[in-house]
Amino acid sequence: MTDPVVPPPRPGRGLGWFLVVSGGIVLFLTLGCVLAFSDFRPFSEDALAALVIGSPTLLLGGLFLWLGMRRLKR
């Protein structure tokens, strides 16, 4: 019986890691700014305003994370 041939890892995995790391950093910093803007009171009116203002950045960070994880799974 022969051993199955394992294909070598695909080149370009660095882009996947870049997207995962940069997406995590963007999410972490955006959530930190939202909490700092709201004086660490998560259910105040300031927190809602900061969340609305920071939502495009949160979406971008989530998109980077999703694309990076998807690229690393291939």
- The answer as to whether 1 is a domain residue is no
Q: Is residue 8 part of a domain?
A: no
| pLDDT for 39 beyond 80 | yes
pLDDT digits (tens, 9 = 90+) for 22-32: 999 999 999 99
The answer to whether position 7 is within a domain reads no
Q: Does residue 64 sit within a domain?
A: yes
pLDDT in tens, 8-19: 766 778 899 999
Nearest partner of 74 among 23, 9, 14, judged by Cα: 9
**What's the domain range around 57?**
13-73
Q: At 61, is the pLDDT very low, low, confident or very high (cuts 50, 70, 90)?
A: very high
What value does the mean pLDDT take over residues 33-53? Answer: 87
Is 6 part of a structural domain of the chain?
Answer: no
Q: Is residue 38 part of a domain?
A: yes
Q: pTM of this prediction?
A: 0.76
CB 37 within 8 Å of CB 68 = no
Does residue 25 belong to any structural domain of this protein?
yes
Domains contained in the chain, number: 1
